[in-house]
Each structure stands twice: as C-alpha cells, then as structure tokens.
Amino acid sequence: MAALLCQGESMSTQRLDKIIADSGLYTRSEARALIKLGRVEAGGCVAKAPAELHDPEQALVKIDGAQLDYKKFRYIMMNKPCGVISSTADRHERTVMELLDAKYSKMGLFPVGRLDKDAEGFLLLTNDGALAHKIASPSSRIGKRYFAEIDGAVTEDDIKAFNDGLVLGDGTECLPAILENTDGGVFITLYEGKYHQVKRMMAALGKPVKYLKRVSIGGLQLDESLNPGEYCEIGDEISQIKCEW
C-alpha cells in the first residue's frame, strides 16, 4: 500500500487537490486551478501548492471563504419511485442518478443493488465500494425487507417453503427467506438479490405481486417522510445496517 502513496504522504494525509476533488464538488484540475489562484485556505493559511499534504478529516479547508464539505464516503437514502431504473446511466431509460442534485454528479455515487423499474422504496446510493459489496453479498446475511401486495392469501405451507429455501420453476434455488402476513399484504425478507426475486418467488407460489416496496436494509428503515423520488444524505445511521442472523 505504501508504494501507492506520494513521497512524504502518509495514510492520514493526502494532497490538497485530491481532498478538494474527493468532496465531489470539483474535478482534480479545477482544484489545482483554485489553489493556484489563491482561493483555497487549508489549516488557516492560503494554500500555496496542490501537492500540500493535509489530513482531510482534520484540516479546515476553505474555498473563497466557505468551508469545504469533505466526506470520504457519501450515503444517500432514496425512496425510489416507480418508472426509473436502478442504474448509473442508460441510453433509453431514466435512472435514479437523474433524480439527484447536480452537486452529487462528481462524487462517484452508484446504487447498491437494484430495485425493479416498477418497484419503489429504499435504495441506497454510495461511493463506498466495500460497504456496497458487503450489503450485496449473500455471505454477509444482510436482510432486505419488502412489503408486497399479492393476489391470493399466504398459507403456512408458503411460509415454510420460504423458510426452507424455495426452488423456482426454472430450478433456481433461493436461500431461506422470511414470509410474513400483514394487513393488506405480506412482508418478505431476502438475504440475496437474484433477478426479480420477490416476484419470481411469489409467482412460484401462484400468488403474483401487484405492488412492491423495499422498506429496510439490514435493520435501517426507509424514512417514511420521503415521498417517492425524494432522498436525504445520511451519516451515522449507516451503522444500523447489520447482519440479522
């Protein structure tokens, strides 16, 4: 790892132009230009060079007198609406990235997992690749909970089939999951993310899904004050995402 660092740079310090670029508000070249124009302060002094080393978690960086909003990782909770796809870009479909303010466009955000185009609910967007991998990996056993309206009524046999690990009509084996009856529909908790999995599992039971909404990821609940298409940036709340069993 040390070989990847610039001379004199430590694990806790970074080049000033990189710190500014990592905020997502400026490109690396824009950051260098701002520094050369004398518009950047770091640690109470006007910055002299893009290569200056600072601790991004400790140094007070200002641009034109305004404090830089630096965060190594960003986490956005979105209530994904129907009609948009969970992708960073698409030539034909509107994506969730198009719902975000322009200030987020340079932050390297991407959706963690997917929600079907016609499904809504909790979608996490981040630039934290390690966390995204952990959430998506079945080995992490992080549950994703959904509310669904279905045709038909769930039986004890259906609940047991989910508990045991349902086998779909094409032979696909699903990990054990949780199926619960509730007013007006069912709650389903999955520990993996196969293609159209909720719909395919319910269809295998002869009870197709009419409406689908993800309500939580690993214990972190969707903020119900968010209307479809709305989102908020979260911080410490991300620690609520945990293995559930």
Residues 6+ apart with CB under 8 A from 89: 95, 97
Q: How many C-beta neighbours within 10 Å does residue 46 have?
A: 11
Separation CA 173–CA 150 (nearest Å):
22
Strands 120-126 and 209-217: parallel
Are β-strands 40-42 and 61-63 bridged in parallel, bridged antiparallel, or unpaired?
A: antiparallel
Residue 64 a catalytic site member: no
Burial of 82 (0-12, 13-18, 19+ CB in 10 A): middle
- Fill in the amino acid letter for 243: C
The one-letter code for the residue type at 50 is P
List the catalytic residue out of 116, 151, 158, 164. 116
Point out the residues that are catalytic.
116
